[in-house]
Amino acid sequence: MKTNRHFLFHLYMGLFLAYLLIPLLVMGGAAFNDSKLPTVIPWKGWTDRWFVDLWNDKRIWGAFRNTLLVAVAVAAIAVPVGTAAAILVNSISGRVRSLLYGLMVAPILIPGVVIGISTLLFWNHLSVGSGLHLSVLGQVSYIASFVMLLVLARLQSFDQALEEAALDLGASHGQVMRRILLPHLYPAIGAGAAISFFQSIENFNVTLFTRGGADTLTVYVFSKVRSGITPTINALALLLILVTLGMAIWYEINRRRKERLQLTREAEGRRAEEAMI
């Protein structure tokens, strides 16, 4: 009985994965179809001209460059801000902590449209015009929340005695931060930077309202789809997917290697313990 039901579940999982991945395959496939409209049917033959066109499309590369600049800026701001917020909230307790924590998590729940418009209006009041800088600020407001959550989770596994030990040995506060706390937080900070980067790249709602005239990848693709599109977009999409996949695999391999190393070390410690040396 159990195995029958389990089979149903395995089937469901398979179907679900297919459901998730087939549209991506279709889209990737359209990058190779020799047809003016992005589609896989009718299939007019293999071609790589869309990749060539992509290479030559100046506007796309301009938009891509803007997207990267914004993403780097967002990561550069959101990571320190989120980390500082996490450290701050972790050292407080009681009602103040709940209040602060709520405020820090709220931006995730605010619709991107609202963030975009509120950012635009606020800085406009201060006579700062729209442009990519506003996109950065708007995106940071909610991306910092992600960083904060990641760092806060990592802080839970930090032994405060390590800070005290360092102080006791004569370290200044700055040295404690640099040599003890931050190294422990690096995994979370790294993850935070990655998340910030990718969240920024794919952001649309906030960017649309704050960008002024500048193009970013998402906005550019959006406008092209409405107005007339060639499979150069598909070529770009395929490249992005492959890069993301590559990085995910690299990350996973790295993670497993580190895990194995840590396990070997701990095993050695246990053997030493048993040998009573």
Distance from C-alpha of 12 to C-alpha of 214, rounded to nearest angstrom = 44
Rounded CA-CA distance 30/234 in Å is 6
Q: Which of 5, 58 has the CB closer to another protein?
A: 5
223 C-beta neighbours (distance < 10 Å), count: 13
Q: Which residues, in sequence order, are bridge partners of residue 46?
A: 33
Residue 218: CB minimum distance to another protein, A: 5
Residue 49 or 178: which CB sits closer to another protein?
178
Task: Tell me how far CA of residue 88 lies from CA of 9, 150, 151, 274, in angstroms.
Answer: 44, 14, 11, 41
Type of residue found at 264? T
Nearest to another protein of 42, 45 (CB atom): 42
CB of 149 to another protein, least distance (A): 7
Residues 6+ apart with CB under 8 A from 79: 147, 189, 192, 193, 196
Closest CB 79 distance from another protein, rounded Å: 10
Q: What's the closest the beta carbon of residue 58 comes to another protein, in angstroms?
A: 20
| Closer residue to another protein in complex, CB, 52/165 | 165
Q: State residue 122 phi and psi, 5-degree precision.
A: -60, -55
Residue 51 CB, nearest approach to another protein (Å): 16
